[in-house]
Amino acid sequence: MNEYFKKNGGSILQKVDNVKIFSKDELKKITKNNSEVLGQGGFGKVYKGTLGDNTIVAVKTSIEVNEARKDDFTNEVIIQSQMMHNNIIKLLGCCLEVDVPMLVYEFAANGNLQDILHGDGNIPLPLHLRLDIAIESAEGLRYMHSSTNRTIRHGDVKPANILLTDKFIPKISDIGTSKLLTVDKDFTMFVKSDVYSFGVVLLELISRKPTIYGENCSLIIEFQQSYDKENSGRMMFDKDIEIEEDILILEEIGRLAMECLKEKVEERPDMKEVAERLVMLRRSRKGGQGSYSISPQNFEEISIEGTPKSFGAEISESSNAAVSAPATPAN
């Protein structure tokens, strides 16, 4: 048995139902000897691969390994393998025959939200699509926080870690940074850090500005000052979606984001409330209602699972979309 296989927890992971153990030779064939790089950074590289059934996958490799965290790797893989949600990137398997384990994930053809929002492509993003991305990302985090038999904090929620499929379905990624929390009286305080980070994502979605922009301007501070002075975030909204009939919707999204960013952790909503309020805004917008106020004291309890799916909500069973420049969503 390969020494790395044993060191990387192979004897345990080969018994996990939802994780396929790939050999080093199999991954060489799948990635065609790492011939196509999908992305890279300080963490390592991600390669495009194709399985035997023509399913396209992403193979993640790390440049180096933190020896102190090797013992955590097995638990992290098991946790990821148990997360079954349309808005969380699916771990398909891993290769343990190398010093630094390689992870095989489902493929997201449109890259990450960071590049879509702030990259050079200037891809049109209508408000209904931004709402869909916000809602479904919130659903993924809600699932991590409260819909599994364990509470999981992501710990690094940001647009770069929200991947988008060919149909612009968002997938929460980089689950390896997540923390498994003991369910006690304090666990809700820890997951509220994800709520704060998601509030920043909401601001980026409605402004199409990064957290630091212009001449060292802070997106959070600029929004806060706008609401403090004018009780409105209008001056910060992306001009491409700032049409008169959607101003109230944008204002409510902005106010919800500011609630997520409250300094006192206990005053922030949880992800369940965030997702439900966003769903209500989508319903109101579709129904053309005149009032969009969804403050915590008057929003109703609703079931997200029961809401009709909108653009991009039908998940494709096939992951074999070709890699290309991000597609232009329908208006």
Q: How many CB atoms lie within 10 A of CB 126?
A: 15
Q: What is the DSSP letter of 73?
A: H
CA separation for the pair 157, 136 (Å, rounded): 14
What's the token pair of residue 35? Answer: 């011939």
DSSP character at residue 86: T
Instruction: Kindly tell me the number of DSSP H helices and DSSP E strands found in the chain.
Output: 10, 12
* Cα–Cα distance, 168 to 166 (Å, whole number): 5
Whole-Å CA distances, 237 to 58, 126, 253:
34, 13, 11
25 part of the active site: no
- Enter the tokens of residue 323: 């890699």
**3-state SS assignment for residue 66:** coil
Instruction: Read off the tokens for 237.
Output: 């909204």
Joined together, the tokens standing for residue 287 give: 């129904």
The one catalytic residue among 156, 184, 240, 270: 156
* Angle 319-320-322 from CA coordinates, rounded to 5°: 125
Q: Is 29 one of the annotated binding-site residues?
A: no
| Dist CA 285 CA 128 (whole Å) | 9
Which residues are designated catalytic? 156
Residues contributing to the annotated binding site for ATP: 60
Residues contributing to the annotated binding site: 60
